[in-house]
Amino acid sequence: MAIKQGLGEFYKSEVKKNITEQELKKYKVRIKNEDGEYEELSAKELKKYLEDMFDGGRTITLADKIMIQDGIVNSQWKRRQELLELLQQIKLGDEAADDYKTEKPA
């Protein structure tokens, strides 16, 4: 996985300001709940998930690791990549998103 290094931290306020629920409707993301079962997040829940993840600041690299721990893996790898590309676009601008690619798992 190649993540553009040196982007700095991403914050909750950036998610609130730059990502809309409407924009997130196209992402069908399922995460593990406390019981270890998967649940699909609505666009509103996905935005809250991202806001909570970046509360206090986190790098996009760390966000990727958190998403993996939360079960956004295997068949969801492309959705995870798309979300991370969206975050990178916000941080650096549209042209920078092409620098981030997630390898498809074997």
pLDDT of residue 6: 60
Quote the CA–CA distance of 34 and 57 in Å, as a whole number. 23
**pLDDT by 10-residue block (mean), the chain, 106 residues:** 63 93 93 92 96 94 93 92 90 56 49
pLDDT of residue 2: 47
pLDDT of residue 13: 93
Quote the CA–CA distance of 14 and 16 in Å, as a whole number. 5
pLDDT of residue 16: 93
pTM comes to: 0.80
Residue among 104, 87, 2, 96 nearest 46 (CA): 87
pLDDT of residue 5: 59
